[in-house]
Every structure is written in C-alpha cells, then in structure tokens.
Amino acid sequence: MGRMSTVTAGPRADEEVAAFRNVSKSYGPVRAVNGLDLVLRPGETVALLGPNGAGKSSSLDLLLGLRDPDQGSVSLFGGTPRAAVETGRVGAMLQSGGLMGDVKVRELVKFACDVHPRGHRPAAVMADAGITEFADRRVDRLSGGQEQRVRFALAIAGANDLIVLDEPTTGMDVSVRRQFWATMRAQADAGRTVLFATHYLEEADSIADRVLVLHRGRLIADGTSAEIKAKAGARRITFELHPADPYVEETALRTLPGTVSLDVTGRSDGVRTVRIRSTDADAGVAALYRAGFHPHGLEVTSLGLEQAFLTITGEQDAADDFADQEGAR
Amino acid sequence: MSTLIQLEIMRTLRNKRYLLFSLLYPGLLYVFFINAYGGGSVAGGTPAKSYFMVSMATFGAVGAVLSNSAQRISLERKSGWVRQLRLTALPGRAYTAAKIASCAVTTLPAIAVVFGIGAAEGVRLSAARWLGLGLALWLGSFVFAALGVALGYAAAPDSVQPIVMITYMLMAVFGGTWFPVSGSLENFARFDPVYLYNRLAGFTQPGHSLDTTAVGGLAGFLVVFVAAAAYLYRKDTKQA
C-alpha cells in the first residue's frame, strides 16, 4: 500500500477543497439539489448519506462539473471543477461511470495513468486497487466486484488531492469490501480528502470522520457520526413498570429531559414496557427515579447510525408534510 | 490524446465483429458477384469485377465506419464511458476525435482486402490509379464517419443497431452497391451519399476524369453531417 506515497504539493490546511454555495439543480419538476451549502476541508474523510433520490449522485455530478447548477456556484480548490479535473487534483469513481470495452484491464489502467497530469505507475495503481491478478483479462469479462475495483483504479491513477466515490463497494463481497476500505484509509492517511456516497451505514460509521445527510436535495445533518446519532436521540432507555409498585402517571415520562420519543406497551398482567429514545440518557434516568418510578430491568443502549439516519430523515419528512398541509390551507 | 487514439484503434482491430462484417463479408460478396457475372459487364458496360470492386470496398468501408462510430458512441454514452472520460484531463473533443481517427484507420483494411481480391481476379490499373482510387475511397469515408458520430449522439442505445442497419442498407440499395443505378432512380440516387461515394471511382474508367459533381455533393454532405454531429455532441454533453 505504501507504493502510492508519492510526495505531492497537497492542499494547505486552511484551503477549501470543495465548496457548494447555495446550489440548486432541477430536472424538470424535480428539485434534485435544493440550496446546498457545504465546504470540504483538506484531509477529511466525508460520507454522504441519503435515501435513493436524495440528490447524492446529482450533488457529485455538480461537484465534478459534469453538470452545471441552475443556481449558486460550485468550486473545487478555489477554481472551477473542470480546472481541477484538468490539473489532476480530483479523481472520481462514479456509479454511472462505464469502462471501455474490448481492452485489457492493464491497457485501460495504463491509459488512465498516461492521461493523468500527475499519473502514477500502472503497476503500482493495479497493486493498490487489488486488480493485478486479473490485469490481462478483458474489461468486458469481469464480475461486478472486479469491475468496481477497476473503476477504483481509474480514480486513483494519479496523485489526486480529492477522491470522490459514489457507492464504491456496491457489488463487492465482504472480504473485498474490507480490503477496499483498507486501501481507502491509506489514501486518506496520505493526506487526501475523500468524499464517498454510500448506503452502507456501517461504512460511514466506521470510516468517515464527517457525515453529511442529504434528504430531498437538502443537507439536513452535518457532523461526526457521534453527533448525528446524538441529534437523532441516540440512546434508547428500556425498562418495565410493574403494577405492584406505586403508580405514577405516564405523562410524567414525557417530561423527562432529553426525551425524543416515547413508547409504552401494556401486557394483560399489568406490566408496562417503556421505550424512550433520548438525547441525554444520563439526565433522563436520574429524572426517572426522582419522579418516583420504579423501573425494572433498566437498559440503556446506543442506537446505530442507521437508526439515527432513519430518525432524522423521518422527522424531516414529517416536518415537510406538515409544511405542505399548512401551505394547502 | 494519442493514447486514447491508439487504444481505440487497437480495440477496433481486435473486435471480431469488425473482422467479420467489414473485411470478410464484403470480400466474400465480391467473389460471389464476380462468379455470378462470369466475367461479363454490368449495365452501362463497366466490367463487373471493376464495378463490384469499388462498390464492395465502399460497402465495407461504410459498414466499418458506421458500426465503429454510431454504435459505439451510442453504447458508450449509455455505459457511462463517455462520462468517465470527462473526468480525465483530456479535452472533451478527444473522444470524438479518437473515434474518427480509428474510423480512418479501420477503413484501410476494408478497402485493401477487396482491392487485393480485385487484383487477383484480373483488375488492371496503373500504380497511380490504384493509389488514387484508394485515396479517394479513404477520404470519402470521412463523410460517413461524420454521419456515424451524428447518429451515435442522436440514437438511443437500444435502437441504434436497427437505425444504423436501415440507413446503411437504404444508402447501399440506392447507391449502386448491389446493382448500377440508372434511369429515373438516378434522380433519387443523386441525394444518396453512397451513390456519390461510388462515383468517386469513375476516373479509373477510360476517358473519364474525377467526377467533380460527386466530390461537391460529398463535401456538402460532410458539412451537414459535421454540423449535425457537433450540435448533437454539445446537446449530449449538457445532459450527461
């Protein structure tokens, strides 16, 4: 993996790698990107999350200059996206990026290295992308996972400062995926900025140091994975209330500090199971006892990023629906 | 850009469809026509072996050029290879330029194969005429390369094959590929680029010089096809 550690000029720490300023883009009646404001800093590994149709691919297209925004501006390294591509500062692996047919993997990688203004040696690129073993196979005769790795090789064919990946691990099996992220980490450790869109939330959780959540073309969350989880009410408090204990009104549960949502289910024997999602589990539990509850089997668990993500997008949907209804009145 | 051109040429020459349809098929048809006419002449008095040598060379060249440009461009727009190329430092026109360059190279074997058979079958021309004829047919093929690029950007990938085949066959039928065009059909054929293309060979017949009407007509088609290709290319780039 160390073969790629070619010394590059690299961006300064205060430089903007990429910036979206109030960017909007519509396709017919569909607003794919809606007022996006965003700055990427050097060395960050950033995950872009969002359900299908959230505007992830559209945002990446705008970032790379494949499309122009209807409104606002996109810059890469302080210039236009095209200038960044021409100077070899950005490499990308798109979901929609195809490969040339009728050529060998080796020939295609050599081509990518040759046309890159700061191209690496093809052998090193193939080793880093883990494709050396099938270098002599024809590109049109690869499996989906192999094809993905060849695309990745094209994205790292030169000394890029920013690497953009759209759902890079689609079609890869688990071991290949692990190897892929190890390579990716090496790229990030070499000081490169990495932006990747994914729908595997555990990838975002374990690899990214910043997570962006995109929903209906808008950026609805931006922070570390821990911050995103906290925003969603990242802990779940579960316990039972038994009928033998002194009775306390359920409404008191709603006023516990940090409570995001409350769910109480009763059984025929009078035992009630309470599930609380909370942004502040410590204060919530302390207040629970102060209010006179006698919780049994108390458990505090942390939510995964996946649930945090569903919560945030769900809340946004509810807010949008509410706004729509208000608007209709 | 030269790396891309090299790669394009190599992959085309490696492609089996190209070998089959652009080299083998016109060659076999030519042999068939020579035998069918049994050393005789086509209507108008041109020896069949001379007539079909030209018409099969142009048939192969047009076929090579159309499938190499139209079909590939359309399919590669869909596969996303065109987008991938836009993420390299290569200028946007490199892709089309490489396609046309590979067209230009791939027509040469198509022409040479049929010429080789013709020479073996007894077509006699002076060295200058062989060279002149080869050059005329090679230059003429650029008109169809431009048409192919335009079709490649205009046609959707699932319909590009029939569109190319129909265009190719219609142009061939009215262009004198299978039989000499004469009478009222000629009024029609004058607007067929393949007809004009075949007429480029007229100067090799005794007492004829280069058909400047055909050259002018082809130049006109070239302008129209290049303009269409440029327009469609720009439109596609905005949408990709």
Encode pLDDT of A50-102 as tens digits: 888 889 999 999 999 999 999 999 999 999 999 999 999 999 998 877 899 88
The C-alpha of B70 sits at a distance from chain A's nearest C-alpha, in angstroms, of 15
Specify the higher pLDDT residue, B239 or A236: A236
Domain ranges of chain B: 2-239
CB contacts, 8 Å: B240 with chain A: 66-67
Q: Give residue A11's pLDDT band: very low, low, confident or very high (50, 70, 90).
A: low
What pLDDT score does B139 carry?
A: 95
Establish if A243 touches chain B: CB-CB under 8 angstroms.
no
Q: Give residue A184's pLDDT band: very low, low, confident or very high (50, 70, 90).
A: confident
The C-alpha of B3 sits at a distance from chain A's nearest C-alpha, in angstroms, of 6
H/E stretch holding A221: strand A218-223
Check residue A42 and give left, alpha or beta (phi > 0: left; psi -120 to 50: alpha). Answer: beta
H/E stretch holding A22: strand A18-27
Interchain contact, A102 vs B79, CB within 8 Å: no
Cβ atoms of B167 and B89 closer than 8 Å: no
Percent of chain A with pLDDT over 90: 47
Rounded CA gap, A298 and A296, in Å? 6
Interchain contact, B11 vs A114, CB within 8 Å: no
The C-alpha of B97 sits at a distance from chain A's nearest C-alpha, in angstroms, of 15
Domain at A2-229: CATH code: 3.40.50.300
Interchain contact, A103 vs B84, CB within 8 Å: no
What pLDDT score does A175 carry?
A: 85
Interchain contact, A115 vs B3, CB within 8 Å: yes
Cβ atoms of B7 and A100 closer than 8 Å: yes
Interchain contact, A115 vs B80, CB within 8 Å: no
Task: Output the CA–CA distances (angstroms, integers) from residue A200 to A23, A47, A184, B44, B161, in the order listed.
Answer: 26, 10, 15, 73, 38
What pLDDT score does B13 carry?
A: 86
Residue of A61, A68, A80, A102 to mutate for B, most B C-beta atoms under 10 A: A102
pLDDT digits (tens, 9 = 90+) for A113-133: 999 999 999 999 999 999 999
What pLDDT score does A179 carry?
A: 86
Interchain contact, A102 vs B15, CB within 8 Å: yes
pLDDT digits (tens, 9 = 90+) for B72-115: 999 999 988 999 999 999 988 888 889 988 999 989 999 999 99
CB contacts, 8 Å: B81 with chain A: 97-100
Portions of chain A given CATH number 3.30.70.3100: 235-302
Buried b (16+ CB within 10 A) or exposed e, B119-132: eebebebeeeebeb
Interchain contact, B12 vs A102, CB within 8 Å: yes
Q: Give residue A326's pLDDT band: very low, low, confident or very high (50, 70, 90).
A: low
**The CATH classification of domain A235-302, taken from the options 3.90.226.10, 3.30.70.3100, 3.40.30.10, 3.30.360.10:** 3.30.70.3100
User: Of B12, B79, B90, which is closest to A115 when you measure between CB atoms?
Assistant: B90
Among chain B residues, CA nearest to A110: B3
Interface TM-score (ipTM) > 0.90: no
Q: Is the dihedral of CA B101, B103, B106, B110 positive or negative?
A: negative
Rounded CA gap, B194 and A108, in Å? 36
Torsion of CA A96, A101, A106, A110, to 10 degrees: -70
Residue of B73, B81, B87 to mutate for A, most A C-beta atoms under 10 A: B87
Tokens of A108: 């295609």
Portions of chain A given CATH number 3.40.50.300: 2-229
Rounded CA gap, A278 and A260, in Å? 5
CB contacts, 8 Å: A100 with chain B: 7, 11, 76, 81
pTM attached to this predicted model = 0.81
Cβ atoms of A220 and A316 closer than 8 Å: yes
Interchain contact, B81 vs A98, CB within 8 Å: yes
Interchain contact, A116 vs B89, CB within 8 Å: yes
Rounded CA gap, A55 and A57, in Å? 6
Q: Exposure of B159 by Cβ count < 10 A (0-12 exposed, 13-18 middle, 19+ buried)?
A: exposed
